[in-house]
Chains A and B, each alone.
Chain A
Amino acid sequence: MPNLIVETQRLDYTFRSGQPILKQLNLQVPAGSIYGFLGPNGAGKTTTLRLILGLLKNQKGDIKIFGESIATHRIPIMKRIGSLIESPSIYLHLTGKENLEVFRLSSGCPRNRIDEVLRVVGLTDAAGKKAGAYSLGMKQRLAIAVALLDDPDLLVLDEPTNGLDPSGIIETRELIKSLNKDQGKTILVSSHLLTEMEKMATHIGIIHKGSLLFQGSMSELHLLQANKAMVTIEVDDAKQAASLLTGFPVQQVNGTNFSVRFESRERTAELNKILVQQGIDVYQVSVARHDLENLFVQITNQ
């Protein structure tokens, strides 16, 4: 069992209206990972993160962070977490540097951290400008700087690339990757964009309608992806061809096309050989690998 930084056990959460938001959520964020917490809007991502940070009162189930409960160890846990929840929350009437000073006074970390985190997020030159005059990307970076201020072991970032332009998205992604790689920080980052997560996450959790549908490493997700790949074959007589392929997982037959679940390259070649040997005209054999996007749709449609 890997060392888990965040672990929830059978987490349930219900809105006051009685609408269930989270159902038996078992989230496991391993140490040193970039955990991509993925799900469509309204799936329960923000609720989960707010529960983890103690912004929502836990109703049922257990939340352990660094092995401790937030209910009993809030302050020592918070000392080791940096967070950014939804839109950047910073004081717009203060300068970037003053914002950091406010939070530095709260956490009690040394003053030189301010210049350090400003450098990390690339805001050194804009440090004296009022945060209200910042672009959305700069605000987001300042919020990340605030999260980094006390040199946390765990970063919780809720949709950090939301509303950013492409270069802002790339910058934020590179920053997250380098924080993980160079400084060894564990990062729990939520998003509704799978392509975004694919580029940085080491682990993935897919949440839909309050339930965790998949959780595992990126390679496990790729394995799942391979399992869902299909071989599509175009022949002169699909029905006859399909009947010849005993021992192959034939799934769909229609007209001149039929499809078989992808097993391996060798099996695909074998399949082709059988068809040709039996006198079937094979026009086309193609492997349709589900990209993650399709996989995501497929998983969330189950």
Chain B
Amino acid sequence: MINTKAEFLKSRHTLAYRAAFIAGIVLPVLHMLGYILKPEHFLQDLSTRPWEMHATYCWKFGAAFFPMYVTILTSLVVQTEFRNNTWKMVYTQPRSYIDIYFSKFVVIQLLLLGSILLFNVSLIVTGSIANIFRPEFAFFKQPVPVGDMLMVTARMYIASLCITAIQYWFSLRFRNFITSLGIGIGLTIVALILLPWDGVVYFPYAYPILTYFKALKVNGIATHEWYSLIGTAAALLLGFWNIVTRKERG
């Protein structure tokens, strides 16, 4: 029913693809270089709880930049149509509006999931490489905590879902890439300011940070993560309604 394959083909060789790939590897690789070049700074952590600490170092930055990354990725995928002036072609194909709207959203989600999974693989690979150069680390002595890593991944994904849905709407709505990007980055900064406030659980752009820094110990799904799921559904439906009822397309 929805044509994800065509949408995927479109994003091949685009900046969105490269951004997803780079985002997946950059933090683990940079940290690996740090471990190899300055092993003394990390020796204590990496010889006792290597996998956990390696993941923590990387995710700390990752979680802080997550809303921004999601914003950029979403804008880049949608921008392909604006830049090539191809929306009018998309809307004159024999495709339903549901297909047009959701297939692209699915592509964004798959790219996002792909890059978080790549991030996990990179954690394992870079930890192992660091250990080859620095045998004093304990990466090879301890099992990879795959279960914990996947749990963090799944929850970070849920926490970011609402931002992708909102940003998706903005990216479709505003022809200019800078507008949706600016709104996304602006709202992320607002989220950082609002962090100390209780009401921040109603502010989607704070959710990845809340999940990683505050709610990781919560068993199951935290309250704001439920809100993220509800917000996703609401933003997708509102966005769809807005796009379908627009007077001008392409």
Q: Please tell me the number of chain B residues within 8 Å of chain A, measured between CB atoms.
A: 28
> What's the nearest-Cβ distance from chain A to residue B182, in Å?
24
Write out, one digit per residue, whether chain B residues 78-97 have a CB within 8 A of any chain A CB (1) or not (0).
00100111111111111110
* Nearest CB in chain A: distance from B10 CB, A: 6
Cβ < 8 Å to A, chain B residues 1-54: 3, 5-6, 9-10, 12-14
Residues of A within 8 A of B89 (CB): 83, 89-90, 103, 146
Is there contact, CB below 8 Å, between B92 and A75?
A: no
Chain A's nearest CB lies how many Å from the CB of B18?
11
Is B249 interfacial (CB-CB < 8 Å)?
yes
Q: Is the CB of A105 within 8 A of B84?
A: no
Does B250 make an interface contact (CB < 8 A)? yes
- Determine the distance from Cα of A176 to Cα of B224 in the docked complex, in whole angstroms: 59
**B-contacting residues, A77-100, CB 8 Å:** 78-79, 81, 83, 85-87, 89-94, 98
B205: min CB distance to chain A, Å: 30
Nearest neighbor of B84 in chain A, beta-carbon distance: A91
CB 8 Å contact bits of A97-114 with B (1 = contact, 0 = none):
010011101110000000
Contacts of A75 in B (CB 8 A): 94-96
Contact A55 B248 (CB under 8 A): yes
Chain B hits for A57, CB < 8 A: 246-248
With a cutoff of 8 Å between Cβ atoms, the chain A residues found around residue B246 in the complex are 57
Bound: A103/B10 CA distance, A: 10
**Contact status of A89 and B93, CB under 8 A, knowing A55-B248, A57-B247, A94-B10:** no
A90 to B90, CA, bound (A): 10
- B14 to chain A: which residues have CB within 8 Å? 93
**Are B10 and A91 in contact, with the CB atoms below 8 A?**
yes
Which chain B positions have C-beta within 8 A of A101? 9
Task: Say yes or no: is A54 at the interface (Cβ < 8 Å to chain B).
Answer: yes
**Known contacts A89-B84, A89-B88, A106 near B9 by CB under 8 Å:** no
Residues of B within 8 A of A92 (CB): 83-84
Task: Give the CA-CA distance A181 to B78 in the complex, in Å.
Answer: 40
A56 within 8 A of B: yes
Q: Please tell me if the beta carbons of A105 and B5 are within 8 angstroms of each other in the complex.
A: yes
User: Judging by beta carbons under 8 Å apart, are B92 and A55 in contact?
Assistant: yes
Binary per-residue interface labels of chain A (117-158) against chain B in the complex, 1 for a CB within 8 Å, 0 otherwise: 000000000000000000000000000001000100000000
**CB under 8 Å from chain A, chain B span 68-83:** 80, 83
Cα–Cα distance between A184 and B93 once the two chains are bound (Å): 21
- B245 CB to nearest A CB, Å: 9
B95 touching A102, Cβ below 8 Å:
no
Given A101-B9, A103-B89, decide whether A90 and B94 contact each other with a Cβ distance below 8 A.
no
Give the chain A neighbours of B9 by CB distance below 8 A: 94, 98, 101-102, 105
Kindly provide the distance from the CB of B78 to the nearest chain A CB, expressed in whole angstroms: 14
Do A106 and B12 touch (CB < 8 A)? no
Q: Could you list some 29 contacts between A and B, CB below 8 A?
A: A53-B91, A54-B92, A54-B249, A55-B92, A55-B249, A56-B247, A57-B247, A78-B92, A78-B93, A83-B89, A86-B85, A89-B85, A89-B88, A90-B86, A91-B10, A92-B83, A93-B14, A93-B84, A94-B12, A94-B13, A98-B9, A101-B9, A102-B9, A102-B10, A106-B95, A107-B93, A107-B94, A146-B89, A150-B94
With contacts A91-B86, A103-B93 known, what are 13 further pairs, Cβ within 8 A?
A53-B88, A53-B92, A75-B95, A76-B94, A79-B94, A83-B92, A87-B85, A90-B86, A93-B13, A93-B84, A94-B10, A105-B9, A106-B3
